[in-house]
Amino acid sequence: MDTRPLVMLIDDDPDATDMYRLGLELEGFRVTVVNDPERLRGSLDEELPDVFVLDWELGDITGGDVLDRLKSDPRTASRPVFMISNHPEETSEGRTARAGALAWLIKARTTPNRLAAQIHEALPPSGELAE
Amino acid sequence: MASTESGPGAAPAESGGESHQLVDLTFDAIFARGFYNRLISYWNPGAERLYGWSRAEALGRVSGQLLESEYPIPLEEIETELLRSGRWEGEIKQRRKDGSPVVVAGRWGLQTHPDGSPLAILEINSDLTTIRGTTEDLRRSEQMFSLLVSGVKDYAIFMLDTDGVVASWNDGAERIKGYAANEIVGRHFSTFYMPEEVKAGKPDWELEVARREGRYQEEGWRVRKDGSTFWASVLITALYDKEGVLKGFGKVTRDMTERHQAELRREEERDLEAAQLRSHAERMAELERTKTQFLNLASHELRGPLTVVRGYTSMLEDGSIAPERFKEMAPLIESKLAQIDILIEQMLETSRLEHDQLELHPEVFDLRGLAREQAALFSALSARHHIAVVVDAEPVMVSADRSRIGTIIGNMLDNAVKYSPNGGDIECKVSRSDDSALVRIRDHGLGIRPEHLPLLFGRFSRLPTEENVSIQGTGLGLFLCREIALRHGGDVAVRSTLGEGSEFTLRLPVAG
């Protein structure tokens, strides 16, 4: 069984998720991508990710809605969630922090390398991953 | 006043005492002269004032000669009357010392000896010239005043009795209120008030105020005989006689309708100005909000492609990706840079529109060729989509700004690609229908929610707010497409069914 941490990217911009997937894989993560948030439930049934990277603009819903879903699902409630967005409204940052997001990252300034560093920090030491 | 002393010298002047002092004080000319010798024995200050002769000059003179008296009847008859009744009254024409005539009312009395024989005549003569003049002046003045009041046209001036019943009427009242004097005198003045004011007892209240405070003044609506209304300036004054008894009220009314209307107009103008200022301020505030929203929007939209470009270059820079793999990524990076460029161009184009500085450079060209060029461009950018170009056999000529029409077609193709995330066929059809050249681009993508259709062509309508996250893009694209098409005399329209796809149509006038 592959013990590398699994990162789920939830973002409806395929070009962005392609880029982050490549970068995170090169940093030693396994990556699963959800471009259509409606398919999130099915994706979670396959394998529970160790960390979520959640975009704000997701078509008909917001990253805030997805965050609420993740936090109310006992399987994912304690998993770290990073909000990542180019959304300029800083009010959303407070909302997602209250809802349990770990950080609000400005996408345009978050290279795959930096994202990887943030994720490493948030994860328990290697080998203690909850499975 | 009669003296009982004997002799002609026994006139009041010589008798002394209070009576003489009293006679001295009266304004009437009073003198005494002997009954038979007619010599003046007493001459009071009133006589000095009236005739101009001093006491010293007058005493001892014959009164009738001194004063050149002309009696209404012969002097003998007067004396006969005096002997008979002791009194005589009549008008006498006399002459003053300075020669001027004077008419006096004479009230003569006979002084007698104790045995009843005549002693002296006391003449009390009142100056009728002055009294007559005063009475005449007074009458003339009253007449003038009456003429003045009745002739005044600009003011209704009339009297009310103590109950408020009209007692007099002038020309101004007739002109302003429409009633002739015979129609209104005798009627209560509440006739001039609005029915609701009469009901509320306002006319009586006004009289009460005038009674209490001496006057009542106001401006308000009043009713004419014909039922029309006018804006009146009203003054009611309580009129009292010398004993302080209320005799009635004087009412002065002026028609101020024109001035009032001018004031109302000025007020309206002021209100309008204020409203315009408010509206201007609101527009400015709205503009400010729009600008802020636009800046947020622009930053968001520019950051999207920037994220991807920076992501790849950072990996190339830190060596995560081998330099030889750059070629794989170059087209994507290029397309992201192009996207940034388009966004910037859209902003500039919008700015030109805003400042009315959008200059079109029209040329006559075949729309089919331009559509093919744009379709080829977008086919190259997306491998997942197939763009089929269907064109009329005949050229579809338009006279338009080729570069900008290319932008419109490109924008419609970009939308078709963007809203067909799962790939699929996109049809680009160029045709002519009557006088219209049409470019119709149909996708089989997501379609647009009906409630979003009205927002599509609005400027900055697709804001990435929590309420409106689902619509992406700056919102400038379709706004610009339609604005530019409109400036060509054409339009851009959309039809869409959610889940089935959308169809955007550019319509331009055919050249020639």
pLDDT tens by residue, B373-412: 999 888 877 777 889 999 999 999 999 999 999 999 998 9
pTM of the predicted model as reported, rounded to 2 decimal places: 0.54
Using CB atoms within 10 Å of the CB of residue B98, give its burial: 0 to 12 exposed, 13 to 18 middle, 19+ buried.
Answer: exposed
**Burial profile A42-78: b = 16 or more Cβ within 10 angstroms, e = fewer:** ebbeeeebbbbbbbbbbbebbbbebbeebbeeeebee
Host H or E run for residue B17: helix B17-25
Chain A residues with CB within 8 Å of chain B CB: 13-16, 19-20, 22-23, 26-27, 35, 56-62, 64, 86-89, 92, 106-113
Decide if B465 touches A, using CB distance below 8 A.
Answer: yes
Closest Cβ–Cβ partner in B296, B311, B465 for A19: B311
Q: How far apart are CA B443 and CA B423, in angstroms?
A: 10
* Residues A19 and A55: beta-carbon distance below 8 Å: no
Q: How far apart are CA B108 and CA B88, in angstroms?
A: 5
Closest Cβ–Cβ partner in A16, A23, A60 for B320: A23
From A12's Cα to the closest Cα of chain B, the distance in A is 10
Q: How far apart are CA A57 and CA B289, in angstroms?
A: 22
Contact A89 B472 (CB under 8 A): no
pLDDT tens by residue, B175-223: 999 999 889 999 999 999 999 999 999 999 999 999 999 999 999 999 9
In this structure, how many other beta carbons lie within 10 angstroms of the beta carbon of residue B316?
A: 16
pLDDT of B461 reads 54
pLDDT of B344 reads 87
Contacts of B318 in chain A (CB under 8 A): 113
Contact B311 A89 (CB under 8 A): no
Closest Cβ–Cβ partner in B318, B470, B472 for A113: B318
**Which residue ranges of chain B lie beneath pLDDT 70?**
1-26, 131-134, 459-475
Q: What value of ipTM does the predicted structure carry?
A: 0.89
Closest Cβ–Cβ partner in A22, A60, A87 for B300: A87
Q: Which residue of B has its CA nearest to A59?
A: B470
pLDDT tens by residue, B226-265: 999 999 999 999 998 888 889 899 999 999 999 999 999 9
